């Protein structure tokens, strides 16, 4: 069946016509207590006349309604555009209004006042830590930053000299799990907590190790006296004497906060899908990192810098925008658009501000002018306006990373370090959610009907 044929299942929200609902809702759209609109949806199968009415809670209705109507009925929802695959209390995202909150706290407040490790605690535990809890958590993370020597000597040293650091990161995260066989015991809370600690603490060590290997520099061991972002910068850049500028340390921490979680994105969904089979968290985090690697997801920051470099000067911006619109450029305006945000990504706003602070230390990234011009032209262009395409988190982050000296190949790795906590918070939530089972979507089969095998001689 194609979509051009008339529908045979009718969904009515609240049992009213759309016009009636709109009239009532316009009068009092938010007052659920006294509204005359029932918070239900009725689904009618026109083939049988059977109806099922189920509640709508927070804009969500259970798919069990469809199974009740007909167990063989499927909803075709490629890329999960209308599917809530889980119930989550971690991150709130309102794409129309550009709102992002972790455990209820606005991202703007966290970026201004908090630290990455405090945010990590918040995401994992649901509440901000008190002084003693933060001290303990920081101590625990700091004391798990070292990795087994064989990880570096036997595993990482085996990569080809020009291996992409993100490819190395993905593989190293999976390999790390082989050092902790108990990690398979995912239903044991103590075991889970230990692996969470290890992954968060070791992610920067692995990331820096991948970079040092790819440029042929000796590995720098973690320094337990440094903060989380300072330790990472030290492992990345230390050659002889190295002093960390506190403004760059803070900028790194802010970037880590902004990237810590973003609810059910492609990488987190990969984490949940793999985690749902009760695979160990290292394997699941490697899958999530792989998803992040793609240019439509975390790989976009690398693509943005390559795009800006290719554009070369602000005079070429209008022509480039025309090429994007006509499809001639062969690609999209990287760092623009988002599945959920149909407004300015709040993280992009903070990152843009952080970029100016970093440039005070490093000097301005010459690509900034091209980026600003691109943003200006796109935000005033009907093509982008009508599709609600705004800068996303990746549009300005690459410029900061580049100004700080990170090679473009490291950009997605810089995203993966802080996102590790988001993946783990969701993994933990998944394993303690009684509604969850192994992920197993259904399909709409479109292949041939049954047919007999044809021997080679007759083909």
- The residue whose two tokens read 């984490």 is 271
Which residues on neighbouring strands pair with residue 93, listed in sequence order?
A: 100
Where does this chain touch ligand ACO (CB under 6 A) — which range of 117-125, 137-145, 334-342, 399-407? 334-342
Query: Could you tell me which stretch among 31-39, 186-194, 291-299, 361-369 binds ligand ACO (CB under 6 A)?
Result: 291-299
Alpha carbon distance 309, 207 (integer Å): 25
Collapsing DSSP to helix, strand or coil, 52 comes out as strand
Residue 324 touching ligand ACO (CB under 6 A): yes
Instruction: Candidates 332, 342, 349, 364: give the one binding ligand ACO (CB under 6 A).
Output: 332
What stretch of H or E contains 158?
none
| Total residues interacting with ligand ACO, rule: CB under 6 A | 18
**139 has catalytic annotation:** no
Among 222, 275, 281, 337, binds ligand ACO (CB under 6 A): 337
Compute the least distance from the CB of residue 398 to ligand ACO, in Å: 11
> Which residue, among 394, 418, 425, has the nearest Cα to 114 in the 3D structure?
418
Residue 133 half-sphere exposure toward CB, CA atoms < 13 A: 12
**How far apart, in whole angstroms, are the C-alpha atoms of residue 424 and residue 200?**
9
- Strands (DSSP E) contained in 303-375 are none
Nearer to ligand ACO, 247 or 339 (CB): 339
Decide whether 229 or 337 has the Cβ nearer to ligand ACO: 337
Q: Which of residues 370-389 bind ligand ACO (CB under 6 A)?
A: 387, 389
Q: Is 391 in the site for ligand ACO (CB under 6 A)?
A: no
CA distance 221 to 147: 9
Residue 349 CB, nearest distance to ligand ACO (Å)? 14
Which is nearer to ligand ACO, 137 or 256 (by Cβ)?
256
The nearer residue to ligand ACO, 208 or 334, going by C-beta atoms, is 334
Of 297 and 364, nearer to ligand ACO (C-beta) is: 297
CA distance 22 to 24: 6
Residue 55's CB is within 10 A of a number of other CB atoms, namely 12
Listed in order, strand segments (DSSP E) in 193-282 are none
Residue from 164, 212, 238, 338 touching ligand ACO (CB under 6 A): that is 338
Kindly state the smallest distance separating residue 347's Cβ from ligand ACO, in Å. 9
Catalytic residue among 245, 297, 323, 369: 297
Q: What is the CA radius of gyration of the chain?
A: 25
Q: Which is nearer to ligand ACO, 137 or 341 (CB)?
A: 341
Shortest distance in whole angstroms from residue 81 CB to ligand ACO:
8
| Nearer CB in complex with ligand ACO: 95/106 | 95
Is the CA virtual torsion 447, 448, 453, 456 positive or negative?
negative
Minimum CB separation from ligand ACO for residue 269, in Å? 12
Phi/psi of residue 179, each to 5°?
-85, -10
Q: Whose Cβ is closer to ligand ACO: residue 249's or residue 261's?
A: 261
d(CA 284, CA 428): 12
DSSP reduced 3-state for 75: coil
Q: Is 148 annotated in the active site?
A: no
Say whether 338 is catalytic: yes
Active-site annotation holder among 253, 338, 345, 426:
338
Q: Does 390 bind ligand ACO (CB under 6 A)?
A: no
Q: Does residue 347 belong to the site contacting ligand ACO (CB under 6 A)? A: no
Query: Of these, 280, 394, 409, 429, which contacts ligand ACO (CB under 6 A)?
Result: 394
- How long, in residues, is the chain? 459
Q: Is residue 393 involved in binding ligand ACO (CB under 6 A)?
A: yes
Q: Which is nearer to ligand ACO, 123 or 147 (CB)?
A: 123
List CB contacts of 13: < 8 A, sequence separation 6 or more.
21, 40, 41, 42, 56
Minimum Å gap between C-beta 332 and ligand ACO is 3
Of the residues 74, 101, 297, 342, which one makes contact with ligand ACO according to CB under 6 A: 297
CA distance 189 to 197: 12
Query: How many whole angstroms separate alpha carbon 176 and alpha carbon 163?
Result: 18
Decide if residue 334 touches ligand ACO (CB under 6 A).
yes
Q: What are the φ and ψ backbone dihedral angles of 3, each rounded to 5 degrees?
A: -75, -15
- Tokens, residue 378: 């796109």
Output the smallest distance, CB 400 to ligand ACO, in A. Answer: 15
Shortest Å distance, C-beta 299 to ligand ACO? 8
| CB 259, CB 418: distance < 8 Å | yes
CA-to-CA distance for 236 and 219, rounded, in angstroms? Answer: 9
In angstroms, give the least distance from the CB of 258 to ligand ACO: 10
State residue 347 phi and psi, 5-degree precision.
-70, -35
Residue with smallest beta-carbon separation from ligand ACO: 337
Give the span between the Cα atoms of 109 and 107, in whole angstroms. Answer: 5
Select from 90-98, 120-128, 162-170, 326-334 the region that touches ligand ACO (CB under 6 A): 326-334
Which residues carry out catalysis? 297, 338, 394
Residues forming contacts to ligand ACO in the complex (CB under 6 A) are 296-298, 300, 324, 332-339, 387, 389, 392-394
């Amino acid at each position: 069946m194609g979509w051009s044929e008339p529908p045979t299942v009718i969904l009515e929200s609240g049992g009213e016509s759309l016009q009636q609902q709109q009239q009532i809702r316009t009068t009092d759209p938010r007052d659920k207590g006294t509204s005359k609109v029932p918070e239900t949806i009725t689904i009618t199968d026109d083939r049988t006349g059977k109806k099922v009415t189920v509640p709508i809670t927070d804009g969500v209705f259970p798919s069990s309604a469809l199974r009740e109507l007909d167990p063989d009925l499927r909803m075709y929802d490629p890329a999960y555009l209308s599917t809530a695959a889980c119930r989550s209390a971690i991150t709130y995202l309102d794409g129309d209004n550009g709102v992002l909150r972790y455990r209820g706290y606005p991202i703007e407040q966290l970026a201004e006042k908090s630290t990455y490790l405090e945010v990590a605690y918040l995401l994992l535990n649901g509440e901000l830590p008190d002084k003693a809890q933060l001290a303990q958590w920081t101590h625990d993370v700091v004391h798990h930053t070292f990795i087994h020597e064989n990880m570096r000597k036997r595993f990482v040293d085996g990569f080809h000299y020009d291996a992409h650091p993100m490819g190395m990161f993905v593989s190293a995260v999976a390999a790390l799990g082989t050092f902790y066989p108990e990690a398979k015991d995912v239903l044991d809370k103590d075991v889970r907590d230990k692996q969470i600690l290890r992954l968060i603490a070791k992610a920067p060590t692995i990331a820096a190790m991948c970079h040092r290997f790819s440029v042929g520099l000796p590995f720098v061991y973690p320094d337990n006296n440094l903060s989380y972002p300072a330790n990472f910068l030290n492992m990345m850049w230390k050659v002889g004497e190295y002093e960390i500028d506190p403004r760059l340390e803070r900028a790194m921490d802010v970037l880590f906060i902004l990237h810590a979680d973003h609810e059910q994105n492609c990488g987190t969904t990969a984490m949940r899908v793999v985690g749902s089979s009760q695979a160990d968290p290292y394997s699941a985090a490697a899958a999530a990192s792989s998803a992040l690697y793609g240019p439509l997801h975390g790989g976009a920051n690398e693509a943005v810098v390559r795009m800006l470099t290719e554009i070369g000067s602000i005079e070429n911006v209008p022509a480039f925008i025309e090429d994007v619109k006509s499809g001639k450029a062969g690609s999209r305006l990287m760092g623009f658009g988002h599945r959920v945000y149909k407004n300015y990504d709040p993280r992009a706003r903070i990152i843009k501000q952080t970029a100016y602070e970093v440039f005070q230390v490093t000097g301005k990234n010459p690509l900034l002018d091209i980026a600003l011009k691109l943003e200006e032209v796109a935000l005033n262009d009907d093509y982008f306006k009508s599709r609600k395409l705004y800068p996303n988190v990746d549009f300005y982050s690459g410029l900061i990373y580049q100004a700080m000296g990170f090679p473009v190949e490291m950009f997605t790795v810089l995203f993966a370090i802080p996102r590790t906590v988001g993946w783990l918070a969701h993994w933990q939530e998944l394993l303690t959610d009684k509604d969850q089972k192994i992920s197993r979507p259904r399909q709409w089969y479109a292949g041939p009907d049954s047919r007999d095998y044809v021997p080679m001689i007759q083909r």
